[in-house]
Amino acid sequence: MRQFLKYTLATIVGVLIVLGLLFFFFAGLAASGAPDTTIKSSSVLHLKFDNVIPELTDNIPSGQFGASPSSAVGLNDITRLLATAAEDSKIEGILLQSEAVPANPTTAYSIARSIEAFKESGKFVTGYGNYFSQSGYIIAAMADTLHLNPNGVVDMRGYGMTIPYYEDFSQKTGVDFDVYHAGRYKSAIEPYYRAKASDDNRYQTHAYLQDYHDALADHVASKRNLDAELVDQVITEGLSNNADDAMQYNLVDHLSYFDDLKDKIKEHVGSDVNYVTLEEYHLDRPKPSVSNNNKIAVIYAEGEVAGGGDQRGAISMDIYDEVFDRLEKNDKVKSVVLRVNSPGGSSFTSDRFWKRVKDLKAQGKYVVASFGDYAASGGYYVAAAADKIVTEPTTLTGSIGVFSMIPDLKELSEEELGVYWDTISTGKRTFLYSSFVSRSAADNVLLKAETERIYEQFKEVVADGREMTVDAVHQVAQGRVWSGVDAMETGLVDTLGSLQDAIAMAAEAASYDDYKVLEYPIIEKTFFEKFVEGFASNFAADLQPQYKLDNPIVQQLMKQVHLIDEACKSPQARLPLGMLTY
């Protein structure tokens, strides 16, 4: 027995020693693989924006860092870094290569404004592209001089939404859905019981897509000094199909190859150029540590409103309860900015988040909500209690409505698979949520009534926060999606503005002239993520997977699957999903 214990102990000690050696080995590899981020003289920021852009740096699911295992720099940090670069003597200018930017228009306009502010420093901004999507071109149009590959294209053909409908698929496969919704425009579940869009959904979707279209035309006309009607014609009729078209309509200044442009930049700078990526600049220019008793908290509520879990890039109370607990105990935080970028999701979580915002206000803290790409359905619910709501013109918001959905797999099981389900129960509604037992007419009445109850609660929450009557809320609710501009007219928001504008409003409410911004949730990478980021950074250029998770089409397909999964669990307050043409 003693011999056995001796060998067992020796084995354990040996394993621990090996693990320790492996730890230091990999840590050494990570350190040796980490890039030298010290910024040199004659540097040029090389901005591509070809990876996902969260609101808060690294606030994305851990599997979505793409081919390059570097940080996903957040939108607010992008604004900060460009402001820093404008004053940085080592940064000569910007090479802007925004092509197929995986971002909605609202995010693209935010970046464009930051570049416009950078240009006030007098430093150059040169743009280049082989291909420009519409979001990419929104950013690229800010360049002093814009170059296009001679075989490239500025792809502006307006905005569209591709929505899959499954009615015929359901009939062929025997997979059906029992759906319950409140609000005539609440169309997120239409695909599961219709063959095409309803007139109401077609109307609301076209309305906000037209706002996208008009904003793009106005932006291009303004930044490229072009006639607005001509730009609208180019977009509407799809007149930009190749590089020659882009030159004809003055969408670009030169047709050039990339190497030739880099030679011109070198000549302009007067020496060899050190190109610095945004990620590298972020590592070299972290947020300064400022000691200040005046504090404003920015809570980033982005991603799906989830039922639970602690996944980054989602709104779950497993994460945000801790954030609210921390802020309630912090007497130095007088104002809070709630930055929302969410299409909605779980009605249960939305209500819990809303209650925590109410609790902050009850403590005397002033709350300003700031909307990003989306603040719709559950994304609007979480912000409804704010003292003031600030939105971007192209934000999609509203969608005040509720739906629930239960799959009915009985026909598929019996007719196609030959599997029959017998039941034994003690209650009349034991199998109310079963996918293999058909619901009675009384069951459907009950489930519809529960969906309507949550909708009424949603309207009451909005009425209380916006100081409107429930009837007035109903007129602008019913699941209707509004652009930020239209939401102003409905009374759902107070003013148009950016996150920086919202922070300024929060500071004014707290009577702060000088203050420190605290950002939540606090993102902490795992050791594995840090290791991969350091070790693999030198090899990232060679890692080009065939399919990337940040591909817009892949993302939208994954969202459709996720929508079905979540909608079958509990009532949802969620924006309709489709494949948006950027």
Residue with tokens 């389900």: 421
For 23-75, write each residue's pLDDT tens digit. Answer: 444 444 444 444 445 899 999 999 999 999 999 999 988 655 443 445 799 99
The answer, yes or no, to whether the previous bond of 69 is cis (omega within 30 of 0) is no
Give yes or no for a contact between 94 and 117, defined as CB atoms under 8 angstroms apart. no
Torsion sign across C-alpha atoms 97, 98, 99, 100: positive
Count CA atoms within 13 Å of residue 144 on its CB side: 14
What's the mean pLDDT in 465-490?
A: 96
Give yes or no for a contact between 302 and 54, defined as CB atoms under 8 angstroms apart. yes
For 238-260, write each residue's pLDDT tens digit. Answer: 999 999 999 999 999 999 999 99
| 556 band by pLDDT with thresholds 50, 70 and 90 | low
pLDDT of 232 > 60? The answer is yes
CA distance 281 to 70: 12
Domains of the chain, earliest start first: 43-155+240-284 (3.90.226.10), 295-420+431-538+547-580 (3.90.226.10)
- Could you tell me what percent of the chain has a pLDDT over 90? 63
Other CB atoms within a 10 A radius of the CB of residue 84 amount to 18
Structure confidence at residue 22 (pLDDT): 45
For 431-473, write each residue's pLDDT tens digit. Answer: 898 888 889 999 989 988 999 999 999 999 999 999 999 999 9
CA distance 133 to 153: 9
Structure confidence at residue 113 (pLDDT): 98
CA distance 357 to 380: 13
| The model's pTM | 0.85
CA distance 208 to 210: 5
CB-based contacts of 197: which residues, under 8 Å, 6+ apart?
Answer: 163, 165, 187, 190, 205
CA distances from 209 to 156, 205, 312, 473, 481 (A): 14, 6, 29, 23, 11
